[in-house]
C-alpha cells in the first residue's frame, strides 16, 4: 500500500529536497506552500522523475486556523509522514522590526506547526505508525540577538519535538527535530533586504546533503539530528560559556553576515 507524506514549504529549499527523497522511496506527496509558481514547478518536476502522485495545496501558514483548513482538504488521506519545514527569518532589533512579520513567523513556526502536528498525530497514533520531522535549527541552542523571534521559535520547535517524542514512546510514532546550521537555500534572501548572501560563508552546507541527513535520521526514529561535525560542536557552546556570552557571539556573527 502506497504511503503519503505531507510537506509544508515543500516547493523549494530543504522541503523540496526532502520531497525528492520521499518520492524516491515511493511515497505519494502533498506539498504545501505559499508560492503557486514554485508549487507547480515542483509538482511537474517530481512527477517526471518518480512514479508517485503529487498533490499541491496553496496555503498561507501564517493565517489563523489554516491547519484545520488543510485537514478538511485531506481528510480522506492518511498521512504517514509529516514534514513541518515551512519557515522564514527576519533580521533586526526587536524594538524596530515589524510586528506583522514577526506575528506571521510565530504562526508559521509555532502555532500552525503545532496545530497541524496535533491534528495529524491523532491518526498516526490510532494506526500505530507514523513519522514527524520538524525543521528546527542550530539556532535553537542559544539566544539570537538581531533575529530574536527566529531563534526563540526554533528553540520552541526543538523542545516541543523532544517532549512529544518522549510521550510517543511505544506508539509506533516517532518525532525528529532536524537542526541544520547555515544552508545554501533562498532563506538568506528573505531574512534581510540588505543582502542576498552570507558574508560569512564558513560552514555553509549543501541542502541536498542536509536533507538526506535529516531524512535518514527520521527513518531511524532519531529524536535530534544535527548535520555536520562543526554544527554538533557549536550546539554545545552554551555548556562552556555563559548564555550572555553566547548571545554576544551570535550578535557579532549576525552583524558581520549582514554588514554592507
Nearest Cα neighbor of 9 from 100, 94, 109, 91 is: 109
| 224 within 8 A of 175, measured Cβ to Cβ | no
CATH code of the domain in which 30 resides: 3.40.50.720
Per the model's pLDDT, the better-predicted residue between 150 and 231 turns out to be 150
Q: What is the mean pLDDT of residues 45-56?
A: 97
pLDDT attached to residue 259: 64
As a whole number of angstroms, the distance between CA 203 and CA 189 comes to 18
Residue 194 has pLDDT above 50, yes or no: no
pLDDT attached to residue 256: 83
Residue 159 has pLDDT above 90, yes or no: yes
Range of the domain at 158: 4-257
Give the CB-side neighbour count of residue 48, counting CA atoms within 13 A: 6
What's the domain count of the chain? 1
The residues annotated with a catalytic role in the active site are: 150
Centroid of chain to Cα 201 = 21
Residue 186 has pLDDT above 80, yes or no: no
Q: What is the mean pLDDT of residues 158-167?
A: 98
Cell triple for 141? 541552542
The predicted model scores a pTM of 0.91
As a whole number of angstroms, the distance between CA 168 and CA 199 comes to 41
Residue 245 has pLDDT above 60, yes or no: yes
Residue 28 has pLDDT above 50, yes or no: yes
As a whole number of angstroms, the distance between CA 57 and CA 11 comes to 10
Of the listed ranges 44-48, 65-69, 252-256, the one predicted with least confidence: 252-256
Residue 196 has pLDDT above 50, yes or no: no
Encode 190-237 in three state secondary structure.
HHCCCCCCCCCCCCCECHHHHHHHHHHHHHHCCCEECCCHHHHHHCCH
Amino acid at each position: 500500500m502506497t504511503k503519503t507524506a505531507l510537506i509544508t514549504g515543500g516547493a523549494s529549499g530543504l522541503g523540496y529536497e526532502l520531497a525528492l527523497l520521499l518520492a524516491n522511496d515511493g511515497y505519494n506527496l502533498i506539498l504545501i506552500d505559499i508560492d503557486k509558481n514554485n508549487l507547480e514547478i515542483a509538482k511537474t518536476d517530481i512527477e517526471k522523475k518518480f512514479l508517485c502522485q503529487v498533490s499541491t495545496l496553496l496555503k498561507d501558514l501564517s493565517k489563523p486556523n489554516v491547519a484545520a483548513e488543510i485537514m478538511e482538504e485531506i481528510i480522506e488521506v492518511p498521512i504517514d509522514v509529516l514534514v513541518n519545514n515551512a519557515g522564514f527569518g527576519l533580521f533586526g532589533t526587536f524594538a524596530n522590526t515589524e510586528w506583522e512579520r514577526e506575528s506571521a513567523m510565530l504562526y508559521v513556526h509555532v502555532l500552525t506547526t503545532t496545530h497541524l502536528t496535533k491534528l495529524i498525530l491523532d491518526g498516526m497514533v490510532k494506526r500505530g505508525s507514523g513519522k514527524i520531522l520538524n525543521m528546527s535549527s542550530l539556532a535553537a541552542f542559544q539566544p539570537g540577538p538581531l533575529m530574536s523571534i527566529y531563534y526563540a521559535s526554533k528553540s520552541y520547535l526543538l523542545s516541543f519535538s523532544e517532549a512529544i517524542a518522549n510521550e510517543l514512546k511505544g506508539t509506533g510514532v516517532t518525532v525528529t527535530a532536524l537542526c541544520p546550521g547555515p544552508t545554501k537555500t533562498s532563506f538568506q534572501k528573505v531574512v534581510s533586504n540588505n543582502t542576498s548572501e552570507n558574508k560569512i560563508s564558513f560552514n555553509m552546507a549543501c541542502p541536498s546533503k542536509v536533507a538526506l541527513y535529516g531524512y535518514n535520521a527520521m527513518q531511524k526514529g532519531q529524536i535530534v539530528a544535527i548535520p555536520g561535525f562543526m554544527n554538533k560542536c557549536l550546539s554545545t557552546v552554551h555548556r562552556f560559556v555563559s548564555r550572555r556570552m553566547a548571545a554576544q557571539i551570535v550578535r557579532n556573527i549576525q552583524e558581520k553576515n549582514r554588514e554592507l
